[in-house]
Structure 1
Amino acid sequence: MTNKVVSLFNGRTRVAQVGPVYRRNGGERMASGFILMSLIWLLLLILVPILLAQVLNLSRNVKDLKRRLEQLEGLSLGPVHLPSPGEPPPKPPPQPVQATAPIPAPSQPEPVKTVAALAKPKADLEAIIGGSLLNRVGVVAFVFGVAFFLKYAFDNRWIGETGRVILGLFAGLVFLGLGERYQRKDYPRFSQGLTGGGIALLYLSIYAAFGFYHLIPQVPAFGFMICVTAASVVLAVRYRALPIAILATLGGFLTPFLLSTGVDNQRVLFSYIFLLNLGVLGLAYFKNWQLLNYQSFILTAITFIAWMVRFYVPEKLWTTVFFLTLFFLVFAFLAILYNIIHSRSATAPELILAFLNAGLYFGAMYLLLEDKYHDYLGLFSLAMAGIYIGLSYFTHARHEKGRFLIWMFLGLAATFVTLAIPIQLKQNWVTIGWAVEGAILSYIAFRYRSWNVFLAAFAILALVFFRLIFFDVQLSRQFVQEEYVLLVNKRGLSFIVGIAAMLLAGYWSAKASLKSSTEARAAAGCLLIIANVLAIILLSVEAYDFLEYLRYQNRIPHAVSRHAQQLSLSIIWALYAAFLIVAGIWKGYKPIRYMALLLFSLTILKVFFLDLSGLERFYRIISFIALGIILIAVSFLYQKYKHVLIGPTATGGESE
């Protein structure tokens, strides 16, 4: 057991140097220790007498103030029990007359009560400044004063190394004793300041004995610090003092850093951190000190990152993964502990902690596994999604008020599914995977009437649109190396699946009747318009690139392909605009018809300004004739279905 504790950081054997030679040659090395040990002399020679005198004065003043306060309270409460001057002795029959007499009675103590109520906030502020703030500032001032005094004393070799450590330990115990004494006398803030100073002195004295003066080996130093941490926790619970608990937690996490010898012992270090976390989180739960949860999480992350930067090697991969997962599970369980057991909604800090826990764990695991196990990272991301789906189900089954926590878990699950797709898949399959995910989320939102899930689906489909426009549109242009088939290629498949996903999402959004009908229709309309924009882009790019492919294959001349490309764009835009007009008339949907009119406008501008000057005569003729026929046909449709599009009143007026 001793060997295991010794190997906590694989401490090296250190030999203390003593005697005149050490004092002559070690002066510069000791200079850094003077500041840390500066508290010792002040406590014994300066601080304790002054502190006792000040405390006695404060005690007398407080007793006088209490006596005066009791007298004031007696005056304010006394008149309430006095009978009113006009009230007769116990005369029961004339009870109605008494209704006018008691009214002045409570008016007498009212001014005193109001003054006391107004004076209370001032007293609280004064107590905070005088009893707490001055206490902390005073301790810091004493630290600096002792630093200067001890530096002078050590430079003159008044006290040896062992004496310094002993004085520091004794001073720490004196501080703890004073803290206990004044805690019993009901001076909590003053007592907490003394207790915190004593704990700090004990930590620093043990560290100096090990790190600076080499008076004790690593095993006793580690044991002493553990004892100080445990005693600090006991005092925090006994005094009901969160600041002492925070100091104890900080000391517990600093112990490995203070006693480090520069050599790694991963298993013992992380086992110690795990057990320390269990103790701190248990204390936070039973005392309802949730600030300790956040402190423990931050310090655990700092410890892990510091170890990774300095000691990690690939040979320690799976041990690191094991402990990292252990830490993750502890804080993941912490996210639901308070909400399920106490049946309350999650607070914003708790949600942030759960989110950071998931993000840091996934990021660390990605860095650890990316080198050798990149092909499995997508599965790992899906496993993370499964964990949070399970947590959301567990929370939903046991806690009706955990709505925010459930939605956060589901949001994390959707995020990890979204991340798994680009991690595991390549090129257009990323877009296809996101499109399928967006469609599935849209159906889930439709099935369970959830607007939040619809918002998640819209976010995923926004990623789909981004990838289609900026990435997938460039696919399938290797005209020489591979056979090009119109629409049946990587780009065509990505666009078709993305368009289908958006149409389905728009349909389910309109059918779900979520939020207000205006918002649901607006969302459905946006998705429908985006889907048609993508369809126009797909048809245009496919036609253009297909003719480009024929030119690369020397199947058509270069001049012909250039004119044919421009002509195909004009015809495709006009035909698609006509298709939108027909669909808009059939469904009675104005946004589609407005989009068609806008597309017609663009087509007309292109034909009259680009095709007229850029195309040869033959292609120009075809472009104008085709556009004219399509526009005339659309105009006829508007005239025929005018009563549907414009209304019976306008139709009747025009027919006359």
Structure 2
Amino acid sequence: MIYSIVILLILCILILFNHLNSKISRLEKKVSELSSKLDDNKVSEMQEEKEWQNIPLPIQNDEPVLHAERETIQQTSEKEGKDWMNIIFEFLKQNALTIIGIFTLVLGIGYFVKYAIDKNWIGETPRVGIGFFLGAVIISLGHFLRKNYSVFSSIITGGGIAVLYFTATIAFREYHLFSQSIAFSVTCLITLICIALSYYYKSEILIIFSLFGGFLAPLMVSSGHSNYPFLFTYITVLNLGMLAVAFLKNWKSIGWIAFIFTYVYLLYWTFETTQLLSIYFYISGYLIFYFFALKNYFRKEVMSSSDILMLVLINFTNIIGLAYIFDQLGYEPVIIFPIGFALVNSALLFREYSQKNFGINYSVFAAVTVSLLTLAVALQFKTHLITSVWAIEATLLLYIWKKTGLQIFRKCFYVLFPLVIIAQIITWTEYIDAKSLNIVFNPVFLTSSVTLVTTFFNLFLLRKHPDHDEKINDFFEYLFSILSYSVIYFAILLEIMYHISAQPWIVIFSVGMIFTLYYIFAILLFRKKLEIPKPAETNLIYLFYVLIILNTVISGPGIVSNFLLHKVPFGFYGLYLLYWIPFIYNILKVLPGSHFLRLKLSYWLISIAFVTALSFELYDIYILLNAEKISDIKALSKHFGLLYLPIIWAVLACIFIYRGLKNNVSEYSKIGFALVAVTILKLYLYDVWEMDNVSRIIAFIILGIILLLSSFLFQRLKKIIKNLVENKEDKPETENL
């Protein structure tokens, strides 16, 4: 019954198709007649247009060669990118139904065969025969449609090839109708047929089908036992065929598909079963894909963005695998591979130099050569492989973007740089379990140094990029800058923390704070050369003064307490006081020309930081001079707070008020009066109830004298300022007389 239904449906579909096809043919004939009439009317217009196009235009050659070449390759790349996007979009738009249709047909055949199997209508051998027969029928159908419907026929033929692959796989894995060698031979034969058809039809779609089938064939006929030498011999032969087709037809897609499959297989073999034999396949793969990347260079002396990207990936992917093999097997020297690859690229660099071609190709070969030599030095010092390779490769991509302006390298950099950060964080975790690392010359910090240097170089490259004004680039570059400065900061800080980890917590905290303050100070000091944006500069200054307050409140008293407990030497207190150098320099040199002082809140933060720092330093000195043991601190702290602190604050309040009047900065005057108010409130609400009579008398007398003298000085200052203003107003009249 089901056969009758299927046959009836097929006949209905064929009749309907024939009816529609005849209508479409008549419509095409009418459209063709109308088109010929329109073409005759437009002949004269086209001739006039050609005459105008043939008029020569003046050419200006006053731009530098490198800039002109970069503009040309950038425009070409952008045009190629847009063309590829348009091609893909148009292909999907026009052939979506075809793709879905062939996929649905294959599934329908599969479900029908499964139904027949479940009903025991056919045995195992006839099932396989039906599969091969249907695949051949679909391929034949594509063959007959190739003249008028080339894309449609390619998709149909690809579907038939997929049926053949799946049939061979099921025959081997499920039914065991033939051995693994026969199954593999069958899949290779299908691949050869597909390659021959694609070459004969000049169809890139078919060659892509054949490559997918060729690389997936080992998985289809796998029995669970790995025979890697045979596998990669087969892959090498397949890649050589790909290279030949690529040179004949200039199809770039097949090279990328082969590259991805080859190195997924190869790296999996390397990390699963590290063998010296795999080195030969790495080298053969390097040569094959190196020639693929340079095919346009040898033909036309030019490389597209995809060629340059392939060149970068070939070198660094092979370095990862080869260096890992040498490291795991204990062979030396591991730098033989980056140096060898550097020599290969330097030969092409010398070729460009000898021909005096200092354009894009020269820059790319130079950058790759220098990057490989840098990586060789890093690996010689036993740095971590993945982190070092990715860090140098990211910088190389950024440099090529800077030289060529090709956006593909910017995007690749933004993808790779977060991976560098993740790899570096994993590297830092080795500090946790490390027992006795050398200072600086240890694998963790040397790896961090590679990341640090490359990150700093990245910041230098991104300083003045033409895309800087674009919002999306501003966001990525701002995020990148934060991550970059954070990587540099933590790379040095964690190394310092590791080597002082045996010290008391206050020592670790203080050293970390001192380093952080100097790090922020260095960024602020070179903010113009580093082109730090104004908002970022303001935020850094805020952070700097907040850390000053935190440092003086926690570190100073903590160091004094630990000194009295004989846990830290007295000289460490002098090291702690080093924060005053960037603090004072920041106030005197950095702040006057910064955007920070335009905000009223900034004056309050600076003043609070200065008052807090000076108060706590005088307190620390007072404790160090008078305390003999830790138990003395409590009484001395109370005495300092009651007697000396109000005097210190009163003097500072007078300084702030004086500075505000002198420089005409009202915020300083407000701060001074606020500090006076706090001092008086503290004196009357708290201090008088805690002091003894003698201390109370001394504090009131000294504070009263300070306030009276300050008031007298302010009155004189106001009078002087008033006289100066009057003299300025009278001066023009005197000159006229």
TM-score of the superposition, structure 2-length normalised?
0.55
- CA distance, structure 2, for counterparts of residue 322 and residue 403 of structure 1: 33
Equivalent residue, structure 1, for 2:504: none
Higher RCO, 1 vs 2 (CA within 8 Å, ≥6 residues apart): 1
Distance apart, 1:474 and its partner CA? 2.4
Summarize the Cα distance change of 1:364–1:258 in structure 2 as closer, same or farther, 3 Å threshold.
closer
1:506 aligns with 2:590: yes
- CA distance, structure 1, for counterparts of residue 467 and residue 537 of structure 2: 22
- CA distance, structure 2, for counterparts of residue 386 and residue 468 of structure 1: 28
Distance apart, 1:536 and its partner CA? 1.6
Distance apart, 1:532 and its partner CA? 3.6
Could you tell me which of 204, 211, 230 is aligned with 1:199? 211
TM-score of the superposition, structure 1-length normalised?
0.61
1:264 aligns with 2:327: no
- CA distance, structure 1, for counterparts of residue 589 and residue 291 of structure 2: 49
Could you tell me which of 396, 416, 425 is aligned with 2:496? 425
Distance apart, 1:590 and its partner CA? 3.3
1:538 aligns with 2:613: yes
- CA distance, structure 2, for counterparts of residue 534 and residue 261 of structure 1: 55
- CA distance, structure 2, for counterparts of residue 277 and residue 582 of structure 1: 75
Contact 1:179–1:195 at 8 Å: present in 2 too? yes
Contact 2:545–2:606 at 8 Å: present in 1 too? no
- CA distance, structure 2, for counterparts of residue 365 and residue 554 of structure 1: 42
Distance apart, 1:431 and its partner CA? 3.5
Equivalent residue, structure 1, for 2:228: 218
- CA distance, structure 1, for counterparts of residue 309 and residue 514 of structure 2: 45
Distance apart, 1:489 and its partner CA? 1.7
- CA distance, structure 1, for counterparts of residue 574 and residue 106 of structure 2: 71
Could you tell me which of 370, 375, 399 is aligned with 2:439? 375
- CA distance, structure 1, for counterparts of residue 90 and residue 458 of structure 2: 46
What is the CA deviation profile of residues 540-583 of structure 1, one whole-angstrom value per residue up to 9, with x for unaligned ones? 33344556664663896955652432433322222212222223
Where 1:606 maps in the other structure, the secondary structure is helix
1:329 aligns with 2:422: no
Equivalent residue, structure 1, for 2:187: 168
Equivalent residue, structure 2, for 1:349: 411
- CA distance, structure 2, for counterparts of residue 415 and residue 210 of structure 1: 48
- CA distance, structure 2, for counterparts of residue 218 and residue 344 of structure 1: 38
- CA distance, structure 1, for counterparts of residue 698 and residue 549 of structure 2: 30
Equivalent residue, structure 2, for 1:595: 671
Could you tell me which of 244, 256, 262 is aligned with 1:252? 262
Where 2:306 maps in the other structure, the secondary structure is coil
Contact 1:577–1:600 at 8 Å: present in 2 too? yes
- CA distance, structure 2, for counterparts of residue 293 and residue 488 of structure 1: 55
What is the CA deviation profile of residues 33-63 of structure 1, one whole-angstrom value per residue up to 9, with x for unaligned ones? xxxxxxxxxxxxxxxxxxxxxx999999999
- CA distance, structure 1, for counterparts of residue 660 and residue 395 of structure 2: 51
Could you tell me which of 306, 320, 326 is aligned with 1:289? 306
- CA distance, structure 2, for counterparts of residue 611 and residue 439 of structure 1: 38
Where 2:672 maps in the other structure, the secondary structure is helix
1:133 aligns with 2:96: yes
- CA distance, structure 2, for counterparts of residue 124 and residue 57 of structure 1: 31
Contact 2:195–2:210 at 8 Å: present in 1 too? yes
- CA distance, structure 2, for counterparts of residue 267 and residue 366 of structure 1: 33
Q: What amino acid is the match of 2:402?
A: N
Percent of aligned pairs with the same amino acid: 16
Q: What amino acid is the match of 2:417?
A: F
Equivalent residue, structure 2, for 1:609: 685
Q: What amino acid is the match of 2:395?
A: A
- CA distance, structure 2, for counterparts of residue 560 and residue 334 of structure 1: 62
Q: What amino acid is the match of 2:273?
A: V
Summarize the Cα distance change of 1:487–1:260 in structure 2 as closer, same or farther, 3 Å threshold.
closer
Summarize the Cα distance change of 1:124–1:232 in structure 2 as closer, same or farther, 3 Å threshold.
closer
Contact 1:165–1:206 at 8 Å: present in 2 too? yes
- CA distance, structure 2, for counterparts of residue 334 and residue 59 of structure 1: 53
Contact 1:442–1:457 at 8 Å: present in 2 too? yes
Distance apart, 1:207 and its partner CA? 2.7
Distance apart, 1:493 and its partner CA? 0.9
Structure 2 residues not aligned, in runs of 5+: 1-16, 46-85, 126-170, 172-176, 297-301, 335-378, 498-507, 730-737
- CA distance, structure 2, for counterparts of residue 313 and residue 56 of structure 1: 68
Contact 2:384–2:447 at 8 Å: present in 1 too? no
Summarize the Cα distance change of 1:182–1:280 in structure 2 as closer, same or farther, 3 Å threshold.
closer
- CA distance, structure 2, for counterparts of residue 556 and residue 259 of structure 1: 69
Could you tell me which of 444, 447, 459 is aligned with 2:526? 444
Could you tell me which of 559, 564, 576 is aligned with 2:652? 576
Structure 1 residues not aligned, in runs of 5+: 1-54, 84-122, 185-190, 511-518
Q: What amino acid is the match of 2:613?
A: L
Equivalent residue, structure 2, for 1:188: none
Distance apart, 1:251 and its partner CA? 1.1
Q: What amino acid is the match of 2:96?
A: L
Could you tell me which of 562, 568, 578 is aligned with 2:638? 562
Could you tell me which of 447, 467, 481 is aligned with 2:565? 481
Alignment of 1:34-113 (within 5 A): 71=33, 73-80=35-42
What is the CA deviation profile of residues 611-643 of structure 1, one whole-angstrom value per residue up to 9, with x for unaligned ones? 344444544454444444444444445444447
Alignment of 1:618-633 (within 5 A): 618-633=694-709
Distance apart, 1:434 and its partner CA? 4.0
Summarize the Cα distance change of 1:466–1:375 in structure 2 as closer, same or farther, 3 Å threshold.
farther
- CA distance, structure 1, for counterparts of residue 34 and residue 565 of structure 2: 99
Contact 1:487–1:542 at 8 Å: present in 2 too? no
